[in-house]
Amino acid sequence: MAMDAAANLATIAAYVHHAERRDWDAFEELLDEEVVYELPQTRERVRGRSELRRFTAEYPGDWHLELAESYADAQGGVARLDSRMGVGQTDTAIVFFRFDADGLITHVTDWWPEPYEPPQGRGHLADRY
């Protein structure tokens, strides 16, 4: 059964929800057996359903995820997440997904942008907030 954007949006929401709830059986059911997870900023890669379950379940710290916005089409999608570690600051994660024809997740690409100082020479073009 070919999936559509609405089904893939529901899978994205479930991915976040099950991770936040630490419901690893339900989390794993969303994943293709050969799922590939990548963090391009660190060049880390995890291959396989049970390996991605383990990577996420064992990720250290009292982390919490909340879905801020998401978009999808019939093949892929993206989520912007608010991530909190304990009572600390909120970080932003941006997660891209690819789905197979059955709606299982085949690729996850995580981006974790961090604060930095603006380059010189554009201070006259933008305000700081």
Give, as ranges, the residues between 34 and 63 that touch a copy of itself (CB under 8 A): 37-47, 51, 54-55, 58-60
Angle at 79 between CA 112 and CA 101, to 5 degrees: 120
- In the complex with a copy of itself, the residue whose CB is nearer, 25 or 127, is 127
Q: Which of 69, 86, 87, 89 binds a copy of itself (CB under 8 A)?
A: 69
Q: How far apart are CA 46 and CA 102, in angstroms?
A: 21
86 lines the binding site for a copy of itself (CB under 8 A): no
Contact flag: residue 21 with a copy of itself (CB under 8 A): no
Alpha carbons 30 and 6: distance in angstroms, whole number = 15
DSSP 8-state assignment for residue 86? T
Structural contact between residues 35 and 99, judged by C-beta atoms closer than 8 angstroms? no
113 binds a copy of itself per the rule CB under 8 A:
yes
Say how far apart CA 9 and CA 22 lie, in whole Å.
Answer: 20
Q: State the Rg of the chain over Cα.
A: 16
Q: Which residue has the tokens 């070919």?
A: 2
Count, residues near a copy of itself per rule CB under 8 A: 45
29, 50, 88, 118: which one binds a copy of itself (CB under 8 A): 118
**Does residue 71 interact with a copy of itself by CB under 8 A?**
yes
Residues found near a copy of itself in the complex (CB under 8 A): 5, 37-47, 51, 54-55, 58-60, 69, 71-73, 76-78, 80, 92, 94, 96, 111-119, 121-122, 125-129
